[in-house]
Amino acid sequence: MSDSERDKVPKTTEPVDNAWSLEIPSFTPQDNPHRLLKESSFATLFPKYREQYLKEHWPLVTKALNKHAITAELDLIEGSMTVSTTRRTWDPYIIVKARDMIKLMSRSVPFEQAVRVLQDEIGADIIKISSLVRNREKFVKRRQRLIGPKGCTLKSIELLTNCYVLVQGQTVATLGPYKGMQLVRRIVEDTMKNIHPIYNIKALMIKRELAKDPKLKNENWERFLPNFTSKNSKRKQPKKKKEKKPYTPFPPPQQESKLDKMIASGEYFLKEDQKRARKRKQQEERHQEAEKKRQERRAQAFIPAEEKVVKKKEEKSDINLEEFKKKVTKGLKKRSAPP
């Protein structure tokens, strides 16, 4: 770092309100004149379909890494890429950046994007999404939801986070500023947890508009952000639940075999003639029971049905018989009396 750059960097020991706004000074060869003590190297494998692309762009990779005194080797037989430091390497962290670069290129990220990792303000992150969802069908649907129709959702995430995002197989490769990578990771993990990415995209758009207003700078933004509520209904319980039997450490008793049953009944010790006679007797008993049931079923047709007895309802009268008799007798006396 030059003296002029050191003077520009603010020297503060107090807590910083916005750490993302601080500028990271560049690390120059003058900051490490003694170079590195030991050699470090990293290797990564790449799939067969990336072999032709890497073979064509490998001169550009070596040229980009030579600026930072890093050597790169491409082994087409084993299918691996290796980066290592040299005696001229002055930046101790550049080897980690070079490792991230070859990892991104093995994950189908183009060279034009992967070479940006070598910058100080740019980072890389590979998010594994295969372990977040067990069901294969759900995994494919949620991964497609992250991409969106014709890649619209993925493009909107890139515009809001200023990151390059590539969904490839069971991983999501991100490349961009460190703050943007945090947002991308949160969106990806929420999407695989069945939260639609449109909620996070909408929240980012609202935050971007709120950040432009100086009045709302130090206020809480929770009232402006959308709240996601899960609409998954509870699992329907069966009408008839099977009662769990009390746990016993002992296994259930072994079922008796046919031979054991014959020994218990005494049939095993009978002779052949006795067995035949016993079998014939059992068969005759079954025939007699069947014949008896058949006769009962036939006799049911000749049994008369029971007649229902209709009871006549007694009519209630409010006439007093004693008074009626007195009136009749009085009338007869009047008729029989002489004029």
CATH number of the domain that residue 87 is part of: 3.30.1370.10
Does pLDDT of 232 surpass 80? no
Q: What is the pLDDT of residue 323?
A: 83
Q: How many domains does the chain have?
A: 3
Residue 271 sits in the same domain as residue 285: yes
Band (331; pLDDT cuts 50, 70, 90): confident
Residue 222 sits in the same domain as residue 125: yes
Please report whether residue 238 resides in a domain: no
Give the residue numbers spanning the domain of 190. Answer: 121-227
Domain-terminating residue out of 227, 251, 272 = 227
Cα 133 to Cα 9: distance, rounded to the nearest angstrom: 46
Residue 213 sits in the same domain as residue 127: yes
Domain-terminating residue out of 204, 227, 250 = 227
- Residue, of 83 and 224, whose pLDDT is higher: 83
Please report whether residue 179 resides in a domain: yes
Please report whether residue 251 resides in a domain: no
Residue 59 sits in the same domain as residue 141: no
CB neighbours of residue 207 within 10 Å: 14
Which residue matches tokens 């500028």? 23
Among 239-253, 298-312, 313-327, the least confident range: 313-327
Q: Which are the contacts of 270, defined by CB distance < 8 A and separation ≥ 6?
A: 278
Residue 155 sits in the same domain as residue 214: yes
Question: Do residues 139 and 130 make contact, with C-beta atoms less than 8 angstroms apart?
Answer: yes
Question: Do residues 53 and 46 make contact, with C-beta atoms less than 8 angstroms apart?
Answer: no
Please report whether residue 149 resides in a domain: yes
**Calculated CA dihedral for residues 243, 249, 255, 260, nearest 10 degrees:** -150
Residue 142 sits in the same domain as residue 197: yes
Please report whether residue 267 resides in a domain: yes
The token pair that represents 57 in the structure block = 């762009």
Which residue matches tokens 């218990």? 264
Residue 153 sits in the same domain as residue 61: no
pTM of the model: 0.61
Please report whether residue 108 resides in a domain: yes
CA distances from residue 187 to 141, 156, 157, 201 in whole angstroms, order as listed: 16, 12, 9, 8
